[in-house]
Amino acid sequence: MVSPESSGAPVIVLIGPMGAGKSSVGKRVAKALGLRFTDTDSVIAQEHGPITQIFERRGEAAFRLIEHDTVRRALGGGGVVAVGGGAPLHPGTRAALASLPVVLLDVADEAVAGRIRGQKRPLLNREDRDPVEEWVRIREERRPVYESVATVRLDTSGRPMQAVVDEIVAWARGEGIVPGAREE
C-alpha cells in the first residue's frame, strides 16, 4: 500500500461504475486490514445534502467540484476510500490517484440490473431512458478513464462479496494478484 504524502497513512482506493459494490466491499476490506473506511458519496451527502438535490439545484459541474475536494481530503486521511462512479472524470482526481493503489471494481450488465433499479441515482433516473441501458452507456463512456488509473481490476458479477474482499486484502498485503484479479 502507498501512503499519501500528507498523512503517511496507507490508502487503497476503490473505483468503478455505479452498483459495482465499492461501498459494500470497501467497508469489509477496511475492517479486514484494520483501516478506516471512507465513502466519499456519504461524506458529500453529510456535508452538502442528498446528491440528487445537488444535481438538481447546482448541476453536475458543481457536484464534480465538490466531489473532487471530498476525494482529495479522503485520500489525505488514508484508509480504504470508495469514490463515486464519476469521481475519476475530474483531472485533479485522476492526478491524485496516479501514485496510489487503485482497485477497479467492475460488474456485468446483467448483474447490475437488480442493484440499481429503484435507487435514486441522478444520472440514471430519467423518465425517457431505461436505467440499465443508461448505466451501460455511462460505464462504457467512463471505462477508458477507469482503466487509465486502475492498478488492478476485479469483476464483482455473481461472485460472493467475501471472495472479492479476500482478493483485495491478499493483494494489499503483497500476496500477489489472485485468480479473480487482473493487473491493468
Order of all β-strands in the sheet with 11-15: 37-39, 79-82, 11-15, 102-106, 152-155, 181-183
Within a domain: residue 4? no
Within a domain: residue 95? yes
Distance, CA of 47 to CA of 70 (rounded, Å): 10
Within a domain: residue 184? no
Q: Tell me, what CATH number does 73's domain have?
A: 3.40.50.300
Within a domain: residue 182? no
> Please, are residues 107 and 20 in contact by the beta-carbon 8 Å criterion?
yes
pLDDT digits (tens, 9 = 90+) for 64-103: 999 999 999 999 999 999 999 999 999 999 999 999 999 9
Domain range spanning residue 92? 11-176
Within a domain: residue 79? yes
pLDDT digits (tens, 9 = 90+) for 33-62: 999 999 999 999 999 999 888 988 998 889
Domains contained in the chain, number: 1
Within a domain: residue 3? no
Within a domain: residue 88? yes
Residue from 21, 140, 155 nearest 80 by CA: 21
Within a domain: residue 81? yes
2-6, 88-92, 124-128: range with lowest mean pLDDT: 2-6
Pairing of strands 102-106, 152-155: parallel
Whole-prediction pTM:
0.84
Pairing of strands 79-82, 11-15: parallel
